[in-house]
């Protein structure tokens, strides 16, 4: 009788441990694959956002860009990077849509266009040539080269 009882207790312990192990493995793989799926979605979203600088005009006191989104998803502009051969400056606040209120991001709908401007604060000099990049929250970007007028 005790041999049968011992065998049943061992079977219950084995089944319990197996259930716990399967539950843990299921939750672990679900979270690991969920993170992978999230990364994959972000990569696809970046590919489906396609910002384009349609127009750029620069003076020492103002940089104005017309930025379109030719992608399938909204693109959120979060910064502007301006550089020349020796240095660069990142602008995390700018003016959007002709507004005089500074913002830290602006969303461009698919096939939409927005005007973005920034005060270069003395960084850009007349007659100089500068590379300008518009950066989005997903990593998509657009760039152009602009000459600075008087």
Residue 36 has pLDDT above 60, yes or no: no
| More confident site: 91 or 1 | 91
Check whether residue 43 and residue 58 sit in a common domain.
no
User: What is this structure's pTM?
Assistant: 0.67
**Is the domain of 102 the same as that of 30?**
no
Q: pLDDT at residue 46 above 60?
A: no
Q: Two tokens at 22?
A: 């399967």
State how many domains the chain has. Answer: 2
Whether residue 43 is predicted with pLDDT greater than 70 in this model: the reply is no
Domain check: are 42 and 11 in the same one?
Answer: yes
Which residues touch 50 (CB under 8 Å, ≥6 apart)?
69, 70, 71, 75, 140
What residue numbers bound the domain in which 26 lies? 1-47
> What pLDDT score does 41 carry?
57
My answer on whether 89 and 140 are in the same domain is: yes
> Quick one: 93 and 123 in the same domain?
yes
């Amino acid at each position: 009788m005790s041999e049968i009882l011992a065998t049943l207790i061992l079977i219950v312990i084995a089944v319990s441990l197996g259930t716990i192990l399967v539950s843990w493995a299921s939750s672990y793989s679900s979270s690991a694959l969920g993170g992978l799926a999230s990364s994959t979605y972000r990569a696809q979203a970046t590919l489906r956002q396609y910002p384009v600088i349609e127009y750029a005009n620069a003076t020492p006191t103002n940089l104005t860009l017309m930025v379109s989104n030719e992608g399938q998803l909204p693109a959120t502009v979060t910064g502007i990077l301006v550089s020349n051969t020796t240095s660069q400056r990142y602008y995390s606040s700018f003016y959007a849509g002709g507004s005089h209120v500074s913002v830290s991001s602006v969303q461009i709908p698919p096939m939409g266009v927005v005007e973005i401007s920034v005060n270069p604060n003395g960084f850009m000099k007349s007659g100089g040539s500068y590379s300008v990049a518009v950066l989005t929250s997903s990593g998509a970007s657009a760039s152009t080269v602009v000459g600075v007028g008087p």
